[in-house]
A and B are shown apart, each in its own frame.
Chain A
Amino acid sequence: MTARIGVVTFPGSLDDRDTQRAIRLAGAEPVALWHKDKDLKQVDAVVLCGGFSYGDYLRAGAIARFSPVMEPLIEQAKAGLPVLGICNGFQILTEAHLLPGTMLRNNHLHFICRDQKLRVENAETAWTSDYTAGQEIHIPLKNIDGQYVADQHTLDTLESEGRVAFRYLDVNPNGSNNDIAGVANEAGNVVGLMPHPEHAVEPLIGTGRTDGLPFFTSILKKLVNA
């Protein structure tokens, strides 16, 4: 058996097909979800992919967060459904208050596209168990609103509870607090990050590395073994 992983397409989603490909390459079955869907088609996990949903007008993720599909998603995520938010998906998860903090415009104000070095800080979440804690990986980063900020109390909580999932190494590309690239919720089923693991799953393509594949094999193993 395999796992069925949903990928939501909002108007303006860009990496939906890429994310479906990554899920397929990991051996799971991608299921297309539409922003107007009122149920999640009984998927075992959901990825909110990158892009500019609704043009990222108003604030990144702010309009998408109120899509019909988000109602069952928020409810089930709170009950333990594994959810991964990549870039715009991460922004939507913070707007939906499934993850703490928010994203501001990059401190240098430019869109930036680069092969970014990260350290895996938490290898125990639903989406990171195929990594080892402290592992250094390269994942493409591409965004303009990528500066992760949260109040001091939230940052302290994230740090003390080990919920900073990924940290930028060598260069902090956008001014994020504590070099945070990604965070997890308390239960570890909801993870969000700005870099794009779905763009690091095939040799030759993009940066030519496959450091992003473990995101998708982690969740597959978890679901299949469950």
Chain B
Amino acid sequence: MSRTPLDTVEHAAATPDVELPWAELGLKKDEYERVVEILGRRPTGAELAMYSVMWSEHCSYKSSKVHLRQFGEKAPENDAMLVGIGENAGVVDVGQGYAVTFKVESHNHPSYVEPYQGAATGVGGIVRDIIAMGARPVAVVDPLRFGAADHPDTKRVLPGVVAGIGGYGNCLGLPNIGGEVVFDSCYQGNPLVNAGCIGVMRHEDIHLAKASGAGNKVILYGARTGGDGIGGASILASETFDDAKPSKRPAVQVGDPFQEKLLIECTLEAFREKLVVGIQDLGAAGLSCATSELASNGSGGMRVTLDDVPLRDSTLSPEEILMSESQERMCAVVEPGKVDRFLEICEKWDVIATVIGEVTDGDRLEIYWHGGKIVDVDPRTVAHEGPVYERPYARPSWQDALQADDANKLPRPATSEELKDQVLKLVGSPNQASKSWITSQYDHFVQGNTVLAQPEDSGMIRIDEETGLGVALATDGNGRYAKLDPYTGAQLALAEAYRNVATTGAKPLAVSDCLNFGSPEDPAVMWQFAEAVRGLADACQQLGTPVTGGNVSLYNQTGEAAIHPTPVVAVLGVIDDVARRTPVAFQEEGQLLYLLGDTREEFGGSAWSQVVHDHLGGLPPKVDLERERLLAEILIAASRDGMIDSAHDLSDGGLIQAVVESALLGGKGARLIVPDGLDAFTFLFSESAGRAVVAVPRSEEVRFNDMCGARGLPATRIGVVDGDSVDVQGEFTLSLTELREIHEGTIPALLA
């Protein structure tokens, strides 16, 4: 093998005129010039690899940073927050000495290229984020969005994504307790595969990604490093090698859930024995990210010998090793005296572990290869001081016309027969239909702590067997609402997730978000992003639920066509005793159905306007956050005090969708009466926010009414749990058998 001289720091200083392929690696000219300015010389190939990948949109948040700051600036006072934005995941105090960490991330682009592996490695990545905080992962959720349900490519993407999430998550032993599945043709070439994970630990077990204490060892453990996900770095490699190499490095990473399961157990055992000073998972940007973040968050510098990294492919160049995104790897900082024990634990779990470097008392990140120094940088300039863009944004010219196209003016059903037909059409439409064909491919039961799982309003996990302490998590997002008005749409996503958590009886505590948008270089998209972030930050401030972390996914667009702006919001809640949880299913015949909140004529962005008229226009429902807070308080109190036996939040599809779901899940029907002041159509289909339907045992009716009255929450008796059909008095009757057939038949018919 003949090769050109190693591009060391010395070599770089001596050869200032060597041209490097910075543009091919995605850097802009001024960004490259800044690298040269920071270093005071041209970068080596390895340094260029690190800067280019760490300064990418994905790792540096360069387009979104200026807006995301609002989550910190507007963060409400909240005693529960233990670790905030900036770490691998936020951490919240849930009482009794427990801390909970949770986060939602996107794996959109990889899942379109290779649905199974893209989705699988998405789960793997978020789970490692949670482990890296010191927590045992206890559940996952998956908010998913695909193109039109009947589009041929959806049949390629969706089953692969679902099998990948199941194949990976099931094999890790993590119950899948929630998420969403939404179809809309705007996601045709850009499916959204978001994955969330919850982890639990004791307060004293919180770990952070920092390398402190000169002399401490840096240990890389987990899978060997291969050429995964480094399309870009191959360009550099071809500059330094003249002989033949594998022609193309795989852009697709393959996940190994078995390896990840071992990584979880081995890491938790090392935590239990207090062997770890700092820890970081290897995700996007692999070692470049892990070493520069650990070093820049710690007190000293770091020296790494790249030759010691265990490789799967011995032809990898140092640049490729630094950029590789091979899965199932982690990096720990361990005191010298504890290294042997750490390695022993890794060996017990058959996990490969290698000391690759140590913390120094300097402030540089130095990386060596074949004896030469190939990286010598201030790690902060790599990890934290990337470019920041104030991208131009402007309200799109079409926004006014879109909002003027009022959905409230669409033709409404003229007869009871037509109303009934539209109900059937709605509950059988892909977005409103049962997703059990999908969710039954996920394990809900493993770990033996699942209290609620989809299709409940939020997933709920018991975290203490003795006291019954539990946490709930709901994720929501409505791209149609956000397209009509991104500010309101983001607030509605938060309001719905907040409401979903409260509906199950848990108190909403904190927020994570996954912001899925088109190209930030389009001022219209950037406006949507700015508005959504502003809306979400304002609403979090008002509801007292801080954003603890999250993820931004941009460039979700095909050509000029961007996806609907899709902020997905996850709300975490806590419940003192899971025995008090409230399920969606109707429990007992004879219980009284109450509609909580105000129903207005609000059809903009509604499921009805989509299913019946294929229409998107007008304004989304109004947001009243004070009302949301009041509704949540009532739902939590009613659940705690045993005043309600089932509850369901009202969102897309409106009241009829909620009642049909509760009836089918409970196997018990309902008789409904249209309340005074409302027409049947608005009663059934309106999507006004801040509402829920609850079933109240007759013995609790007075107490429940008194509570709502005293607190000023409108509570309207709308019917009773009864029989084996859903009956709307004076309008129509639909048997549960017929409803079940249409509600549960749609998805298998399209996808099985």
A, B in one complex: yes
A131 contacts partner chain B, Cβ-Cβ < 8 Å: no
A113 to B165, CA, bound (A): 14
Q: Would A52 and B462 count as touching, CB distance under 8 A?
A: no
**Is A206 an interface position by the 8 A CB rule?**
yes
* Candidates A54, A55, A112, A198; contact of B441 at CB < 8 Å: A112
Q: Which listed residue, B167, B172, B448, B581, touches A21 by the CB 8 Å rule? A: B448
CB contacts (< 8 Å) of B451 on chain A: these are 204-205
Q: Determine whether the beta carbon of B444 is less than 8 Å from that of A206.
A: yes
Q: Do A142 and B446 form a contact, CB below 8 Å, given A15-B173, A52-B171, A204-B579?
A: yes
Q: Is the CB of A142 within 8 A of B349?
A: no
Residues of A contacting B257 in the complex (Cβ-Cβ under 8 angstroms): 52, 55
Q: Does any Cβ of A come within 8 Å of B170's Cβ?
A: yes
Given contacts A111-B170, A114-B440, contact A206 B261 (CB under 8 A): no
Question: Is residue B343 within 8 Å, beta carbon to beta carbon, of the partner chain?
Answer: no
Option from A17, A22, A57, A113 in Cβ contact (under 8 Å) with B443: A113
**CB closest chain-A residue, reference B462:** A205
- Per-residue B-contact encoding for A49-62, CB less than 8 Å = 1, 0 else: 01110111100000
Residue of A18, A108, A112, A113 touching B448 (CB-CB under 8 A)? A18
Residue numbers in B under 8 Å from A205 (CB-CB): 448-451, 462
- Main SS class of interface, A: loop
Chain B residue with the shortest CB-CB distance to A173? B440
Q: Is the CB of A142 within 8 A of B445?
A: yes
- Residue among B167, B441, B752 with max Cβ neighbours from chain A (10 Å): B441
CA distance A112 to B438 in the complex (A): 9
For B171, give its contact among A18, A55, A204, A207 (CB under 8 Å).
A55
The residues of B that contact A22 with a CB separation of less than 8 Å are 448
Q: Which residue of B lies closest to A52 (CB)?
A: B171
Q: In the complex, what residues of A have CB within 8 A of residue B734's CB?
A: none
| A-contacting residues, B78-130, CB 8 Å | none
* Count of residues in A whose CB is under 8 Å from the partner chain: 33
CA distance A57 to B171 in the complex (A): 11
How far, in whole Å, are A201 and B445 apart by their CA atoms in the complex?
A: 12
Bound-state CA distance A111–B171 (Å) is 11
Check A113/B441 contact, CB under 8 A, given A18-B447, A21-B448. yes
Check A111 against B445 for contact (C-beta < 8 Å): no
B166 at the interface (CB under 8 A from A): yes
A204-B443 in contact (CB<8A): no
Choose one: A12, A50, A110, A140; the contact of B163 (CB below 8 Å): A110
Instruction: Give chain A residues whose Cβ lies under 8 Å from the Cβ of B349.
Output: 11
Asked if A167 is at the interface (CB within 8 A of a chain B CB), the reply is no
Contact with A along B242-260 (1 / 0, CB 8 A): 0000000000000011110
Which listed residue, A140, A198, A204, touches B578 by the CB 8 Å rule? A204
Alpha-carbon distance A15/B752, docked complex (angstroms): 29
A43: CB under 8 A from chain B?
no
A166 to B262, CA, bound (A): 33
Question: Is B464 interfacial (CB 8 A cutoff)?
Answer: no
In the complex formed, the residue of B with least CB distance to A109 is: B163
Interface range on chain B (Cβ under 8 Å from partner): 20 to 34
Residue of A nearest to B170 (CB): A111
In contact, A55 and B448 (Cβ under 8 angstroms): no
Which chain B residue has the least Cβ–Cβ distance from A202?
A: B448
Residue-wise interface mask of A (192-223) relative to B, using a CB-CB cutoff of 8 A (1 in contact, 0 not) = 00001011011011110000000000000000
| Separation of A113 and B442 alpha carbons in the complex (Å) | 6
Query: Cβ of A104 < 8 Å from any Cβ of B?
Result: no
Which residues in chain B, 660-679, are within 8 Å of chain A measured between CB atoms? none
A-contact 0/1 string along B142-172, CB 8 Å cutoff: 0000000000000000000001001100111
**Alpha-carbon separation in the docked complex, A29 to B32 (Å):** 64
Query: CB-CB < 8 A to B167: which residues of A?
Result: 111
User: Is B350 at the interface (CB under 8 A from chain A)?
Assistant: yes
Interface residues of A in 12-44 (CB under 8 A from B): 12, 14-15, 17-18, 21-22
Report chain B residues within 8 Å CB of A12: 171, 258, 261-262
**A199 engages B448 (CB within 8 Å):** yes
How far does the Cβ of A101 sit from chain B's closest Cβ, in whole Å? 23
Least CB separation from A15: chain B residue: B446
Contact of A55 among B173, B258, B440 (CB under 8 A): B258
Interface 1/0 per residue, A72-113 and B, CB below 8 Å: 000000000000000000000000000000000000101111
Are A196 and B171 also in contact (CB < 8 A) when A55-B257, A114-B440, A205-B462 are? no
Q: Which residues of A contact B261 (CB under 8 A)?
A: 11-12, 14, 52
Contacts of B439 in A (CB 8 A): 113
**Which residues of chain A from 101 to 142 have a CB within 8 Å of any chain B CB?**
108, 110-114, 140, 142
Query: A52 contacts which of B258, B442, B447 (Cβ < 8 Å)?
Result: B258
Bound complex: CA A21 to CA B445 (Å): 14
Q: How far is the CB of B363 from chain A (nearest CB, A)?
A: 41
Chain B residues in 8 Å Cβ range of A55: 171, 256-259
Q: Mark B452-471, 1 if CB is under 8 A from A, else 0.
A: 00000000001001000000
A111 and B256 contact, CB distance less than 8 A: no
Q: Which residues of A contact B578 (CB under 8 A)?
A: 204
Note all chain B residues with C-beta closer than 8 A to A54: 258
CA distance in complex: A14, B448 (Å): 11
Which residues of A are found within 8 Å of B256, using beta-carbon distances? Answer: 55
- A111 near B166 with CB under 8 A, answer yes
Residues of A within 8 A of B447 (CB): 17-18
| Contact residues, B715-752 vs A (CB, 8 A) | 752
Residue of B nearest to A140 (CB): B445
Whether A142 lies near B170 (C-beta < 8 A) is yes
Query: In the complex, what distance in Å separates the CA atom of A22 from the CA atom of B448?
Result: 9
A12-B258, A111-B441, A142-B443 given; A198·B448 CB < 8 A: yes
Which chain A residue lies CB-closest to B583?
A: A208
Q: Do residues A113 and B171 form an inter-chain contact, with CB atoms below 8 A?
A: no
Whether A113 touches B173, Cβ cut-off 8 Å, given contacts A18-B448, A204-B451, A205-B451, is: no
A198–B259 alpha-carbon span in the complex (Å): 25
**A112 and B258 in contact, given A11-B349, A142-B170, A204-B579 (Cβ under 8 angstroms):** no
Give the residue name and chain of the B residue nearest to A112 (CB): B440
Indicate which residue in A14, A50, A111, A199 contacts B442 across the interface (CB closer than 8 Å): A111
Shortest Cβ gap from A26 to chain B (Å): 14
In the complex, what distance in Å separates the CA atom of A108 from the CA atom of B163? 13
Q: Nearest chain-B residue to A9 (Cβ)? A: B265
On chain A, the residues within 8 Å of B440 by CB distance are: 110, 112-114
Indicate if the CB atoms of B262 and A11 lie closer than 8 Å: yes
Give the docked Cα–Cα distance between A74 and B128 (Å). Answer: 37
Closest Cβ of chain B to A175, distance in Å, is 15
Kindly list chain B residues whose C-beta atoms are within 8 Å of the C-beta of A202.
448
CB-CB under 8 A from A52, the residues of chain B are 170-171, 257-258, 261
CA distance A108 to B261 in the complex (A): 26
A111 to B441, CA, bound (A): 5
B350 engages A11 (CB within 8 Å): yes
> Which residues from B are CB-within-8-Å of A199?
445-446, 448
Whether B450 and A206, one on each chain, are in contact in the complex, defined by CB atoms closer than 8 angstroms, is yes
Q: Which chain A residue has the least Cβ–Cβ distance from B579?
A: A204
Interface positions, chain B 567-621, Cβ under 8 Å from A, are: 578-579, 581
Across-interface contacts of B442 in A (CB, < 8 A): 111, 113
Q: How far is the CB of B71 from chain A (nearest CB, A)?
A: 35
In the assembled complex, the CB of A151 is this many whole angstroms from the nearest CB of chain B, namely: 30
Query: Which A-chain residue is minimally distant from B169 (CB atoms)?
Result: A111
B269 to chain A, nearest CB (A): 12
A-binding residues in B (CB < 8 A): 163, 166-167, 170-173, 256-259, 261-262, 349-350, 439-451, 462, 465, 578-579, 581, 752
**What are 9 A-B contacts defined by CB distance under 8 Å?**
A52-B258, A112-B441, A142-B443, A144-B170, A199-B445, A199-B446, A204-B451, A205-B448, A206-B445
Known: A17-B448, A21-B465. 5 other contacts (CB 8 A): A11-B261, A14-B172, A14-B446, A50-B446, A110-B166
- Which 9 residue pairs of A and B lie closest in terms of their CB atoms, listed nearest first? A55-B258, A14-B173, A18-B448, A199-B445, A52-B171, A206-B445, A111-B166, A111-B441, A142-B443
Tell me the A residues contacting B by CB distance below 8 Å: 11-12, 14-15, 17-18, 21-22, 50-52, 54-57, 108, 110-114, 140, 142, 144, 196, 198-199, 201-202, 204-207
